[in-house]
Amino acid sequence: GRKVTLSNCYVMPKVEDNIEDIFDTAKYMARTYSYGGGVGLNLSKLRPKGAKVNNAASTTTGAVSFMDLYSLVTGLIGMRGRRGALMLNLDCSHPDIEEFIDVKNDLDKVNYANTSVNITDEFMEAVVNDSEYELYFRVDATGEEIRKTINARDLFRKLAENNWNMAEPGILYQNRIDSWHLMSEDDTFEFAGVNPCAEETLPGFGSCNLSSINLSEFVINPFTKDAEFHFERFGEMVREGIIYLNEVLDENMNLHPLPQQRDLSRELRQIGLGIMGVADTFIKMGVKYGSEESIELIHQIGRVLVNEALRQSALLSKEYGPFPRYRKEKVLASPFLLANADDDVMELIEKYGLRNSQLLTIPPTGSISTLIGCSNGVEPIFQISYTRKSESLHHEDTYYKVFTPIVKDYMDRNNLNKEEELPDFFITTSNLDYKSRIEVQAAWQQYIDASISSTVNVPNEFTVEEVEELYIYAWEKGLKGITIYRDGCARSGILISDKSNRSKIEKIEELQREIDELVVEHLKEDPDICPMCGGKLIHSGGCAECQDCGYSPCSI
């Protein structure tokens, strides 16, 4: 049969500083892509440019030079009819960090990877204090030490400028990542990197199965003054989700591309239950995204989310035993657990342990949220409406307005004809200040032991200085990672507002979005027939795949 993994994401071990491991990693990536998995890879162990090597080259071309190798592998190996997905990241203290930050300014380089910088508290404190910061690398093979002293604020400005102009690299706050999860006190455990969308922090050869709950489905009496959230029913769904993902994990145990991935999945049993429809939930309840009321609602929902997930994992541990690398005293000392677990849940964990070393995440949910018609992840809705074009039989272009699903639902229920009549709790990326956006994500992060995939969309007039302020504020609020997209920046973005004089690439992207909408409509009408070739879609593990052409609508 077809060799396809049910895991959404994988992380490779940090690439060791030798030629064998550099190319073994490329081989492991290729095999993982061939099974349908995305990959995260940390390059920070590779010696910097100009360091001595014991071969004919005398000196190395540096960590950044190998990015194109891994990007090429990603572009070559297909995943269910699409290319692979790759995240490359580098520590902020690596002497090649400036070159890494600039690498994607060359549009001919590293075309098949996202990039992120691992930022430490030490670096951020140097930024805030406008002080010096040392880039350092020790080559174990030769004993050579490479040091370079820079001004932290200058490097931070370079990072902000690239984000402002090219929307990359993103930022990962390493200390927060390392300290806020169930295994944080276990000295035998170490994260190696993040998956391509950065919502999954994973060890080397780690993997994760993802699933998301649509929060907006738990709003009772939506769009009325009597609207409320059904916490009990939501808690039941969380428990069912944990059971479901554990079953998927077991089903997938022998479907991982590499034996090392199978072994680690068995030892750690990492899963990723998430949420989507946050913005829709607020709108259905008449709550303004980013308001104090919305933050309080997040805390109420988040508390249920984390406790019911922990509860069910403990009950599964009672029945099947804890994950093999479970060390009771270390897990019970986790600040994440101590801050979030209710007394009765803590008693269950003390008695039975946990079935999973990781439980919760918030993916971008771009495809599945579009499929079911809700807002994605923790993001606000992008726009109230879009302009669409259709061509008549007489070859005349017709332009018409299409409202975002939640907007159309509200307008239909209230007999509204103009978007100007909408109440002020209809918040979009264009009228939401960045601090409110970060505060929403920070509130969710308190209850999430993995991470949150996040892009803050900012207007074209957003300045480089404001990008710096945004990243400092995100660090202060305890986020694990974040990136921005400035409307109209040099690199085509994830979401593009209607503009005149669009490039060919932008026009192609619009056509692709229209195709995606038609695919969604087709799947709603006939979920068993492939929209690409007419073959039969086989449903498995919450996903579906065409047995004739390999098409799958279920990428997350």
Output the 3-class SS for 338-383.
HHHCCHHHHHHHHHHCCCCCEEECECCCHHHHHHHCCCCCCCCECC
The answer to the question of residue 428 being in a domain is no
Assess whether 17 and 116 both reside in one domain: yes
CA distance 55 to 281: 60
* Torsion (CA) 22, 24, 29, 35 in degrees, nearest 10: 180
Assess whether 414 and 515 both reside in one domain: no
Assess whether 416 and 511 both reside in one domain: no
pLDDT in tens, 336-352: 999 999 999 999 999 99
Which pair of tokens denotes residue 425?
A: 């709790």
Assess whether 160 and 42 both reside in one domain: yes
The answer to the question of residue 191 being in a domain is no
Q: Which of 149, 179, 209 is the last residue of a domain?
A: 179
Assess whether 46 and 165 both reside in one domain: yes
Q: List CB contacts of 108: < 8 A, sequence separation 6 or more.
A: none
How many domains, in total, are found in the chain?
3
The answer to the question of residue 110 being in a domain is yes
Q: How many CB atoms lie within 10 A of CB 99?
A: 17
Assess whether 397 and 523 both reside in one domain: no
Q: Which of these, 388, 387, 369, lies nearest to 378 by C-alpha position?
A: 369
The range of the structural domain enclosing residue 518 comes to: 506-546
Q: Which of 144, 179, 214 is the last residue of a domain?
A: 179
Assess whether 46 and 173 both reside in one domain: yes
CA distance 104 to 121: 25
Q: Are strands 270-276 and 206-214 parallel, antiparallel or unpaired?
A: parallel
Assess whether 405 and 520 both reside in one domain: no
DSSP state of 88: E
pLDDT in tens, 374-394: 999 999 998 898 876 665 545
The answer to the question of residue 516 being in a domain is yes
The answer to the question of residue 363 being in a domain is no
Cis peptide before 259 (omega within 30 of 0): no
Assess whether 33 and 174 both reside in one domain: yes
pLDDT in tens, 5-56: 999 889 999 999 999 999 999 999 999 999 999 999 999 999 999 999 877 7
Q: What is the pLDDT of residue 253?
A: 95
The answer to the question of residue 291 being in a domain is no
The answer to the question of residue 348 being in a domain is no
Q: What is the pLDDT of residue 232?
A: 98
Please provide residue 149's backbone torsions phi and psi, each rounded to the nearest 5 degrees.
-95, 130
Q: What is the pLDDT of residue 493?
A: 41
Q: What is the pLDDT of residue 497?
A: 46
Q: What is the pLDDT of residue 546?
A: 59
pLDDT of 160 strictly over 90:
yes
pLDDT of 492 strictly over 90:
no
In total, the chain counts a number of residues equal to 556
The answer to the question of residue 404 being in a domain is yes
Residue type, 222: P
CATH number at residue 155: 3.20.70.20
Assess whether 31 and 159 both reside in one domain: yes
Assess whether 410 and 514 both reside in one domain: no
Q: Which of 179, 207, 240 is the last residue of a domain?
A: 179
